[in-house]
Amino acid sequence: MVSTITKEELSGFAQEKFTGRIIVVQTIDETLKATAYLSGFGAIGFDTETRPAFKKGVSHQIALMQLSTEDTCFLFRLNLIGLPDCLAGILVNPAIKKIGLSLKDDFTAIHKRKSLSPVNFIDIQSFIHDYGIEDLGLQRIYGILFGKRISKGQRLSNWEADVLSDAQKLYAALDAWACLRIFNELKNREKIKKK
């Protein structure tokens, strides 16, 4: 298996698509239903999106939190619902692994919404080297493992828009789902023995 990949190699891959259900959650009732469903899983993919600030000194709170199983991704619109206790409960539940990438910034941003200490989060970057992969970005790790490309086209779009576009929903769902998929794939692979 290759340990690193170039931008050029990545651009030659077919684009990955999330083909599961995408459920946008924007009321407390919907949040209760979604978190009840998610609490039955042992591991879920995790990601967040924040409206970009193009001015120095301006920052925004997390607008979207994505939690994904292998076939369903919930998009929690935190700019509309805040961070309800039932959702916070998933983040601190030790029985559910939350798989993400580069989590430090996410934790800082979550803390701005609610004072909590996330539990049982697994950062792919913390163990990817054990499998001989040197790249740390989601796109490159995914490309190395699956030979597919993840588009980053929507990253700087407005995550606080009244209605999320289909492109935004697909992008957001794919990132959280991809983290879970990488984790599940690596569980079945042997770690590289250190020399």
Find the CATH number of the domain harbouring 112.
Answer: 3.30.420.10
Distance CA 28, CA 150 (A): 31
Residue 193 included in any domain: no
Residue 135, domain extent: 7-51+59-187
41 in a domain, yes or no?
yes
| H runs (alpha helix) in 22-146 | 28-38, 78-81, 85-91, 103-113, 138-146
- CA distance linking residue 145 with residue 186, whole number of Å: 9
94 C-beta neighbours (distance < 10 Å), count: 7
pLDDT tens, 127-175? 898 988 888 889 899 999 999 998 876 666 889 999 999 999 999 999 9
Number of domains in the chain: 1
> Is 1 part of a structural domain of the chain?
no
73: in domain: yes
DSSP one-letter code for 8: H
Structure tokens at 33: 């239903």
Q: Decide the pairing of beta strands 62-68 and 14-15.
A: unpaired
66: in domain: yes
Q: Is 14 helix (H, G, I), strand (E, B) or coil?
A: strand
pLDDT by residue for the chain (195 residues), tens only, comes to 678 888 888 888 988 999 999 999 999 999 999 999 999 999 999 999 988 776 777 777 889 999 999 999 999 999 999 999 999 999 999 999 999 998 988 888 888 888 898 899 999 999 898 988 888 889 899 999 999 998 876 666 889 999 999 999 999 999 999 999 999 999 887 777 654
- The verdict on residue 20 lying in a domain is yes
Q: Does residue 117 belong to any structural domain of this protein?
A: yes
pTM of the model: 0.91
Is 126 among the domain residues? yes
